[in-house]
């Protein structure tokens, strides 16, 4: 039987091998698997049958054999060289089961209990020995075969996001599984009181001040405009829906289009600029998995969505119509006197297309809505009517991909067009336009698992126009501004327990023709298996708002410095975060008089500070089927805010903020109950009838929200929610008229939520043409 016959037997019938003389023998099988034999000048080996074909006896015999070194079949017996050594980690502990191989050959071994290995090879001269072990960096040695004896190989643990210290520990993440992720993707939808709004869900995290009558994000004493919102790293210029004072706004985005959220309440990366307090980056989903449609019927309107998946591209579209009229008819609890209840259309689309080494994404959102209502005028006691129509278009396109083994490129641009038409009875009609453009080009180079660098360019252009019409009289003003920024930042891991991130951002502000430099620094140290401490410093700048620039275009950039100390623990069912911070404000715009336009002294002389402490604890399944989190923020804040005559705490900054959020899964009822409780200390407000400034405090705000989601089946969900179930009478301070009344006092009224309670009901249906099921139906 020659070798030809032998191979022609195929894998299923090789029960024997040939010995050197070409005589068949069964030794090889009993030997574990491999025999080597010589046929004239050539060497062959053969193997036993596939395991299923082994009989019991053979299996039994084989159990006694050590198979760790089964790969000892070399190409030629003639020049066998033995390679040996031991594999350990950095602390000298042996690594068991590491694989040691000669590149390009089958010659190798796996390390034993004591980390040792030994095998022979016929490879001559210089070879490359590769040593690999899951979770460790592959080590290779290039040397003469004869020198590869008693090797002492030390493998270094690979630094991964899972095992290493996290440099962005002061950022809240949702949706991914990193150690700093505190929210799950579903939390945005299922947190009672959020009703599917990203911003409302984020307000249950520490570092934010609950402003339930406003709805925007207020971070650590910063006003809402100090927190910038991004979609896929590109700026959104008008992220919030237009509402009337007293009714909370919502985000313009539907949360289901996003796979993750990254929310930094301070000390963020040099990649972000023009934000004094916070950065929120929303990431759209990378790939859609299957074609499906969504139909949502809500007490406020209806929504349809469809995702179409082609071979690898996909498109998701979403359209919704909201009309508050039926709700206001059914639940006439509102204090607002609607003349035309809020109604509007909105639509979104996401297109994704993978390329060979990257991904192209396009996101477009448009909406158009309006409302009209009557509001009491404190001075005249008459009713003023206010009508607002808002139209908004936002689009962004980005590409992310590898341009070389080590370097990935991000290129993207966003544009936003926003138009508000305001018709207020006793005032001229006003049209406000804001157009914006943001372009970004950045590179990330991964030098090794310990050293990465990000660097790039940012271009931002904003254009504001305000036109007022009063009969024949039309006045218009506009303002364009642009800035160019360059940033560079590196992450360096001294070990998996200690890491440094250092960055610098340089911005050139067109209006001022001025260059500003903002350094950022974070140092993170792992203090236990699951716990870490990080300290951060950062300098941040932001241009003042358009209303101030219209009055004085040369106003300097406002500045803030952040100092943070953070402790982060993620262990088992628990996530714990503690963070102390100090924020110093400088060069704040301030003016006297009631508006910047009428001010005689307008300048950048204001300063301020904020310091405080954040606490966050989340425990999932500590109590069976219960997931809850507690967040508490303590804030001390004073600043020279706009027309403040002195430094004081603005009305949006509250000292104590507490949120308790819990979600209880009731398997028997196929339901999830959500309970959220908020407690916020009183708001500062100014009472012109007393001496002093901003000395009054409103009563504490309390709210208990409930939601109930009932899963009819995997694709149908019934959802109800009620805010402020117990009907607390909340107040956000008082507002005062401009003219003294008969008692010589300024008239006042309490600022109350427009709706003490809010009810919501929805029925969400997913329709997927599940071809899998059809296929299974053929059975």
Partner 1 sequence: MKTLLSSIIIFSFGFAALSAQNNYETAMQQSFEALEQGQVKPAQQMFERIAIMETDKWVPLYHSVNLLIGESFETEDKEKRELLLGKAKELIAEAHDRSPNNAELLTLEGLLYTSYVTSDPQTYGMIYSSKIAALHQRAMQADSENPRAMLNALEWNMGSARFFGNDIKPICEKVEAVIPMFDSYESDVAFAPTHGLEKAERILADCNND
Interacting residues toward partner 1 by CB under 8 A: 3, 7, 11, 32-34, 44-52, 54, 59, 62-63, 65, 67-68, 70-71, 73, 97, 99, 101, 104-106, 108, 110, 134-135, 160, 162-163, 175, 177, 181, 184-186, 259, 289-290, 292, 309, 620, 627, 670, 711, 713-714, 768, 770-773, 775-776, 778-779
Q: What is the DSSP string of 112-150?
A: -TTSEEEEEE---SEEEEEEE-TTB--EEEEEEGGG-SS
Residue placing its CB nearer to partner 1 in the complex, 104 or 593: 104
Task: Report the nearest approach of partner 1 to the CB of residue 592 (Å).
Answer: 52
Residue placing its CB nearer to partner 1 in the complex, 719 or 732: 719
For residues 364 and 257, what is the distance between their CA atoms, to the nearest angstrom? 12
Task: Report the nearest approach of partner 1 to the CB of residue 775 (Å).
Answer: 4
Question: 30 Cβ partners below 8 Å, 6+ apart?
Answer: 58, 61
Task: Report the nearest approach of partner 1 to the CB of residue 177 (Å).
Answer: 5
Residue placing its CB nearer to partner 1 in the complex, 142 or 670: 670
Task: Report the nearest approach of partner 1 to the CB of residue 32 (Å).
Answer: 7
Task: Report the nearest approach of partner 1 to the CB of residue 209 (Å).
Answer: 28
Residue placing its CB nearer to partner 1 in the complex, 135 or 480: 135
Residue placing its CB nearer to partner 1 in the complex, 47 or 423: 47
**43, two tokens:** 């060497």
For residues 449 and 6, what is the distance between their CA atoms, to the nearest angstrom? 48
Adjacent-strand bridge partners of 401: 358, 409
DSSP 596: T
Residue placing its CB nearer to partner 1 in the complex, 177 or 448: 177
Which class for 765: exposed (0-12), middle (13-18), buried (19 or more C-beta within 10 A)? Answer: middle
**91, two tokens:** 């602390």
For residues 252 and 219, what is the distance between their CA atoms, to the nearest angstrom? 20
Task: Report the nearest approach of partner 1 to the CB of residue 436 (Å).
Answer: 31
Phi and psi at residue 188, in whole multiples of 5°? Answer: -60, -35
Tell me if residue 426 falls in helix, strand or coil. coil
**537, two tokens:** 């410093």
Residue placing its CB nearer to partner 1 in the complex, 395 or 446: 446
Question: 640 Cβ partners below 8 Å, 6+ apart?
Answer: 588, 590, 605, 606, 607, 608, 646, 647
Residue placing its CB nearer to partner 1 in the complex, 50 or 514: 50
Task: Report the nearest approach of partner 1 to the CB of residue 651 (Å).
Answer: 37
Residue placing its CB nearer to partner 1 in the complex, 73 or 758: 73
Task: Report the nearest approach of partner 1 to the CB of residue 772 (Å).
Answer: 4
CB 450 within 8 A of CB 492: yes
Which class for 177: exposed (0-12), middle (13-18), buried (19 or more C-beta within 10 A)? Answer: exposed
For residues 491 and 311, what is the distance between their CA atoms, to the nearest angstrom? 37
Which class for 470: exposed (0-12), middle (13-18), buried (19 or more C-beta within 10 A)? Answer: exposed
Question: 179 Cβ partners below 8 Å, 6+ apart?
Answer: 161, 162, 166, 169, 530, 532, 568, 570
| Cα–Cα nearest to 455, from 447, 443, 446 | 443
Question: 359 Cβ partners below 8 Å, 6+ apart?
Answer: 286, 352, 353, 399, 400, 401
Residue placing its CB nearer to partner 1 in the complex, 329 or 713: 713
Residue placing its CB nearer to partner 1 in the complex, 185 or 207: 185
Q: Is the dihedral of CA 280, 547, 590, 378 positive or negative?
A: negative
Task: Report the nearest approach of partner 1 to the CB of residue 75 (Å).
Answer: 9
Task: Report the nearest approach of partner 1 to the CB of residue 289 (Å).
Answer: 4
Task: Report the nearest approach of partner 1 to the CB of residue 392 (Å).
Answer: 28
User: Within 13 A of 747's CA, how many CA atoms are on the CB side?
Assistant: 11
Residue placing its CB nearer to partner 1 in the complex, 174 or 509: 174
Q: Is 318 left (phi over 0), alpha (psi -120 to 50) or beta?
A: beta
Task: Report the nearest approach of partner 1 to the CB of residue 193 (Å).
Answer: 19
CB 449 within 8 A of CB 160: yes
Q: What is the DSSP string of 605-635?
A: EEEEEEEEEEEEEEEEEEETTEEEEEEEEEE
Which class for 570: exposed (0-12), middle (13-18), buried (19 or more C-beta within 10 A)? Answer: buried
Length in residues, the chain: 779
Task: Report the nearest approach of partner 1 to the CB of residue 454 (Å).
Answer: 22
Adjacent-strand bridge partners of 143: 127
Residue placing its CB nearer to partner 1 in the complex, 343 or 620: 620
Task: Report the nearest approach of partner 1 to the CB of residue 389 (Å).
Answer: 36
| Cα–Cα nearest to 511, from 464, 470, 457, 549 | 549
Residue placing its CB nearer to partner 1 in the complex, 118 or 547: 118
Task: Report the nearest approach of partner 1 to the CB of residue 658 (Å).
Answer: 24
Task: Report the nearest approach of partner 1 to the CB of residue 579 (Å).
Answer: 23
Residue placing its CB nearer to partner 1 in the complex, 106 or 447: 106
Residue placing its CB nearer to partner 1 in the complex, 670 or 749: 670
Question: 572 Cβ partners below 8 Å, 6+ apart?
Answer: none
Residue placing its CB nearer to partner 1 in the complex, 99 or 689: 99
Task: Report the nearest approach of partner 1 to the CB of residue 713 (Å).
Answer: 5
State how far the alpha carbon of 623 is from the alpha carbons of 100, 403, 618, 628, 709, in Å: 47, 48, 12, 9, 20
């Amino acid at each position: 039987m020659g070798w030809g016959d032998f191979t022609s037997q195929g894998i299923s019938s090789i029960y024997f091998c040939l010995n050197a003389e070409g005589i068949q023998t069964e030794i090889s099988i009993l030997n574990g698997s491999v025999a080597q034999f010589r046929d004239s000048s050539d060497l062959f080996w053969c193997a036993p049958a596939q395991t299923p074909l082994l009989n019991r006896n053979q299996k039994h015999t084989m159990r006694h054999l050590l198979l760790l070194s089964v790969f000892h079949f070399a190409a030629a017996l003639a020049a066998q060289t033995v390679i040996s050594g031991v594999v350990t980690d950095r602390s000298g502990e042996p690594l068991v089961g590491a694989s040691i191989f000669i590149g390009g050959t089958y010659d190798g071994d796996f390390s034993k209990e004591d980390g040792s290995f030994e095998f022979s090879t016929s490879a001559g001269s210089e070879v490359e020995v590769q040593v690999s072990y899951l979770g460790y960096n592959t080590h290779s040695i290039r040397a003469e075969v004869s020198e590869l004896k008693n090797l002492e190989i030390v493998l270094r643990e690979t630094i991964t996001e899972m095992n290493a210290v996290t440099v962005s520990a002061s950022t809240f993440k949702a949706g991914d599984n990193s150690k700093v992720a505190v929210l799950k993707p579903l939390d945005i939808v299922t947190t009672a009181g959020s009703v599917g709004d990203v911003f409302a869900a984020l307000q249950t995290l520490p570092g934010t001040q609950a402003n339930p009558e406003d709805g925007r994000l207020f971070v650590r004493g910063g006003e809402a405009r100090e927190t910038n919102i991004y979609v896929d790293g590109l700026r959104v210029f008008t992220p919030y829906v237009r509402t009337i004072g007293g009714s909370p706004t919502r985000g313009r985005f539907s949360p289901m289009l996003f796979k993750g959220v990254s929310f930094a309440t301070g000390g963020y990366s040099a990649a972000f600029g023009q934000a004094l307090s916070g950065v929120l980056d929303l990431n759209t989903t990378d790939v859609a998995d299957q074609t499906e449609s969504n139909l949502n019927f809500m007490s406020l309107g209806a929504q349809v969505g469809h995702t179409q998946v082609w071979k690898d591209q996909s498109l998701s579209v979403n359209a919704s119509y909201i009309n508050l009229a039926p709700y206001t008819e059914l639940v006439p609890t509102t204090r607002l006197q609607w003349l035309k209840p809020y109604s509007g259309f909105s639509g979104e689309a996401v297109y994704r297309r993978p390329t060979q080494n990257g991904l192209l994404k396009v996101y477009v959102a448009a909406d158009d809505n309006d409302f009209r209502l009557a509001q009491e005028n404190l001075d005249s006691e008459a009713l003023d009517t206010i009508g607002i129509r808002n139209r908004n278009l936002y689009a962004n396109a980005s590409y992310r991909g590898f341009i070389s083994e080590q370097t990935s490129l991000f290129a993207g641009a966003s544009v936003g067009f926003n138009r508000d038409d305001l018709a207020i009875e006793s005032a001229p009609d006003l049209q406000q336009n804001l157009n914006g453009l943001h372009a970004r080009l950045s590179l990330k180079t991964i030098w090794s698992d310990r050293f990465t660098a990000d660097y790039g360019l940012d271009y931002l252009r904003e254009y504001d126009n305000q036109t007022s019409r009063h009969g024949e009289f039309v006045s218009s003003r506009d303002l364009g501004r642009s800035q160019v920024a360059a940033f560079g930042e590196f992450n360096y891991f001294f070990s998996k327990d200690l890491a440094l991130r250092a960055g610098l951002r340089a911005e050139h502000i067109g209006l001022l023709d001025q260059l500003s430099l903002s350094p950022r620094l974070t140092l993170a140290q792992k203090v236990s298996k699951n716990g870490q401490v990080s300290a951060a410093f950062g300098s941040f700048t932001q241009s003042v708002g358009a209303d101030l620039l219209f009055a004085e275009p040369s106003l300097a950039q406002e500045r803030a410095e952040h100092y943070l100390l953070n402790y982060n623990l993620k262990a088992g069912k628990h996530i714990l975060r503690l963070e102390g911070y100090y924020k110093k404000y400088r060069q704040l715009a301030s003016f006297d008089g009631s508006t910047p336009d009428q001010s005689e002294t307008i300048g950048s002389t204001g300063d301020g500070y904020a310091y405080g402490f954040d606490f966050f604890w989340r425990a999932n399944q500590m109590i069976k089927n219960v997931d809850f989190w507690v967040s508490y923020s303590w804030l001390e804040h004073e600043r020279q805010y706009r027309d403040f005559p002195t430094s004081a705490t603005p009305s949006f900054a509250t000292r104590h903020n507490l949120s308790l959020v819990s979600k209880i899964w009731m398997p028997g009822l196929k339901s999830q109950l959500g309970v959220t409780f908020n407690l916020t200390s009183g708001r500062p407000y100014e009472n012109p009838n007393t001496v002093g400034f901003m000395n009054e405090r409103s009563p504490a705000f309390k709210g208990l929200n409930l939601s109930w989601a009932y899963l009819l089946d995997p694709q149908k969900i019934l959802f109800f929610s009620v805010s402020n179930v117990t009907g607390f009478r909340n107040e956000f301070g008082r507002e005062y008229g401009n003219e003294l009344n008969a008692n010589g006092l300024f008239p006042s009224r309490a600022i109350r939520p427009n709706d003490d309670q809010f009810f919501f009901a929805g029925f969400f249906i997913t329709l997927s043409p599940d071809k899998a099921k059809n296929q299974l139906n053929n059975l």
